[in-house]
Amino acid sequence: MEVNLRIAGQAMKADLEAPLDISIPLRFDGVGPNCFYAPLPESSPVRAGDFVGSTAEGGLLNFKNVKLNPHGNGTHTECVGHIAKEPYFLGDCLKRFHFSARLISLYPRKQDNGDRVVERDQLAELLRPGEVKAVVLRTLPNDAQKLERSYSGTNPPYLAAEAAQLLVDYGVDHLLLDLPSVDREEDGGALSAHRAFWQYPYDTREHATITEMIYVPDEIKDGLYLLQHQITSMVLDASPSKPTLYRLIDSN
């Protein structure tokens, strides 16, 4: 099945029969990425009298409780409610789920203090103003360890506030990246890239989202895609998510 769309004035087709999942599955066996010292997800069967919600334990069906931290466990999408004093919920902010997207890859630039930072000029070299509504950022080097890395206490790469501002200037409403946060792990509470991207609190972009801890395999090449956002209907500032890309072809 194909759908027609226009990106930057160009007629394109998306192949919906070939989805490219760029999320990291939430696992409950002690394996998976985590950050900011959040515990790994947990799953346990409901127990009530003689009832046990586990077929492995002799129950009639699987009926389990789940415990997780959306921000700390795997791929998640968040809205401005993540940093706002006011209550913003992802389900109220994200009302559309399909967007034009460009996938880009780059090496965060090493700073004098040892930090690795994605800077404004790096994004400006790879993006065009007004071209797409979503940017998918794959940091290099890219390896499968991103599927289970513990980022806590490692000072992972992050975005400069000026880089986040460039995305706003270019009309990008949705940022997806394979890092645990757009900001430095310990920044004294500045949250400068979050604030710049959401323009909070003075000109808040309620509709904009950030998706962190994705994984884009090497076989998915840089370029234009159709992005589908998939989230759960949780009344929170964030949700575990399953962003999916679809390849585009010129329909002319």
Yes or no: say if 127 and 220 are a contact pair by the CB < 8 Å rule. Answer: no
Instruction: Convert the pLDDT of each residue in 6-56 to its tens digit.
Output: 877 788 888 889 999 999 999 999 899 999 999 999 999 999 999 999 999
Q: Is residue 169 part of a domain?
A: yes
**Domain hosting residue 102, numbered range:** 2-32+71-250
Q: Is residue 40 part of a domain?
A: no
Query: pTM (2 decimals)?
Result: 0.96
CA distance 5 to 102: 15
Q: Is residue 236 part of a domain?
A: yes
Among the listed residues 206, 220, 214, 215, the one whose alpha carbon sits nearest the alpha carbon of residue 240: 214
- Per-residue pLDDT at 252: 64
- Per-residue pLDDT at 82: 98
Instruction: Return left, alpha or beta for 130; rule: phi > 0 is left, psi -120 to 50 is alpha, else beta.
Output: left
Q: Is residue 37 part of a domain?
A: no
Q: Is residue 49 part of a domain?
A: no
CB atoms within 10 A of CB 228: 19
CA distance 248 to 252: 12
SS3 61: coil
Q: Is residue 54 part of a domain?
A: no
Yes or no: say if 79 and 71 are a contact pair by the CB < 8 Å rule. Answer: no
The token pair that represents 82 in the structure block: 């993540």
- Per-residue pLDDT at 78: 98
Yes or no: say if 135 and 19 are a contact pair by the CB < 8 Å rule. Answer: no
Q: Is residue 52 part of a domain?
A: no
Q: What is the CATH number of the domain that holds 96?
A: 3.50.30.50
Q: Is residue 25 part of a domain?
A: yes
The token pair that represents 156 in the structure block: 């992972």
> How many separate domains does the chain show?
1
